[in-house]
Every structure is written in structure tokens, then in C-alpha cells.
């Protein structure tokens, strides 16, 4: 599955548009507790454990979106956008990762 942030696929013709596909995942409050209670791996001022958790959540959301596109017989997703939202409030410090794009078939 080709996944692009661009609205087209250079050198290829899009022959079918299947529409919007999405994927979501949550990064739970326990990650924050672990990271900010002294159990963190800081390398050059960056928290690599936190970055790994964000990457994992993003990959999970992209995987969910890809599964939906494959069900439509798409072979690419174009125009993808990734958003990170702190749900706060009753959800504590939970971050939701949302990925959206357009499922297409190209030749």
C-alpha cells in the first residue's frame, strides 16, 4: 500500500477514488505517569521512550486506516494527515492519534 501526503501520485494515473479512510489510536495516561515519574530515557534532551510510544500509536492508526482502504480494493492512500489531540478532562492525559486520507486505485 502506497501512503502519501501528496494529493496525486507522480507518474501514475489514479483510476478510482474510494473516498475517506481514517485510523485512530490512543496513547494512555500510564505512559505519562511512567515518563514523568523518573522512568524515562533522555538522550540529548529528547525523551526517546515517549517518541517510541508516539511512533507506535501513529503506526497503529496508519495500520487501521490501511486495512479499511484494502477492503475497498485500494492500492494507495493519498493526502494523508496526522493529528495529535490531548483529550484531557475525564480521559486524563490521553493522546489520540488520528490519521485521515483518500483511498484510491492507481495504475
Q: How confident is the model at residue 39 (pLDDT cuts 50, 70, 90)?
A: very low
Element (H, E) at 46: strand 46-47
pLDDT at 103 over 70: yes
Q: How confident is the model at residue 71 (pLDDT cuts 50, 70, 90)?
A: very high
The pLDDT mean for the chain works out to 85
Q: Which residues pair with 82 in a beta bridge?
A: 99
* Number of domains, the chain: 1
- Which CATH number fits the domain that encloses residue 11? 3.30.110.70
* Whether 23 contacts 98, CB under 8 Å: yes
Between 83 and 92, residue with greater pLDDT: 83
For residue 18, what are the domain limits?
A: 2-106
Residue 47 to residue 50: CA distance in whole angstroms = 5
Q: How confident is the model at residue 37 (pLDDT cuts 50, 70, 90)?
A: very low
Q: Which residues of 7-39 are buried (b: 16+ CB within 10 A; e: fewer)?
A: eebeeeeeeeebeebebbbebeeebbeebeeee
Amino acid at each position: 500500500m502506497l501512503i502519501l501526503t501528496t494529493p496525486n501520485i507522480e507518474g501514475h494515473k489514479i483510476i478510482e477514488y474510494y473516498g475517506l479512510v481514517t485510523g485512530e489510536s490512543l496513547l494512555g495516561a500510564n505512559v505519562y505517569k511512567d515518563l514523568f515519574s523518573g522512568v524515562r530515557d533522555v538522550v540529548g534532551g529528547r525523551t526517546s521512550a515517549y517518541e517510541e510510544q508516539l511512533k507506535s500509536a501513529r503506526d497503529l492508526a496508519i495500520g487501521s486506516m490501511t486495512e479499511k482502504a484494502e477492503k475497498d480494493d485500494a492500492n494507495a492512500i493519498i493526502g494523508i494527515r496526522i493529528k495529535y489531540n490531548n483529550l484531557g478532562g475525564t480521559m486524563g492525559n490521553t493522546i489520540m492519534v488520528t490519521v485521515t486520507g483518500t483511498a484510491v486505485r492507481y495504475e
